[in-house]
Amino acid sequence: MSENKLSETMKNSIDGIKQMIDVNTIIGDPIDFPDGTHIIPVSKVSFGFGSGGSDIPAKNEKELFGGATGAGVSIQPLAFIVIKRDGDVKLLQMSVNAEKENAIINTIPEVVDKIADIFDSKKSSD
């Protein structure tokens, strides 16, 4: 089999996938709203490809090559990062249990603030 032709076929597949997918596919471009809110989409990207080829026997001396490639891409939205003008940041997940997960994630800053307040009040009393 012509190694060069198979390599060229695979390179064309990979180049095509690179054109479809970049870093901005996973962490999307921010969407800006007039009130100062920014929303950043977060996605899961999966892709795969296959390639194969074969030299075909011929009666003349010209080398014959048959090859094929295939590729697939799946983009699944996972979450949105919401940044408000006042600096409040929330992660809104898109899943079956998203409400529970979002509630836990979004209370973390509150819990950290309360713990910091406890330590601050102990330092003040000492």
Q: Which is higher by pLDDT, 38 or 102?
A: 38
Name residue 68's amino acid: A
Average pLDDT over the chain, rounded to an integer: 76
- pTM over cut 0.75: no
Phi, psi of 42 (to 5 degrees): -125, 125
Res 1 pLDDT > 50: no
Residue given tokens 């003040």 in the structure block: 124
Report pLDDT digits (tens) over 59-90: 777 777 777 777 777 888 888 889 998 888 88
Task: Map out the domains of the chain as residue ranges.
Answer: 3-93, 95-126
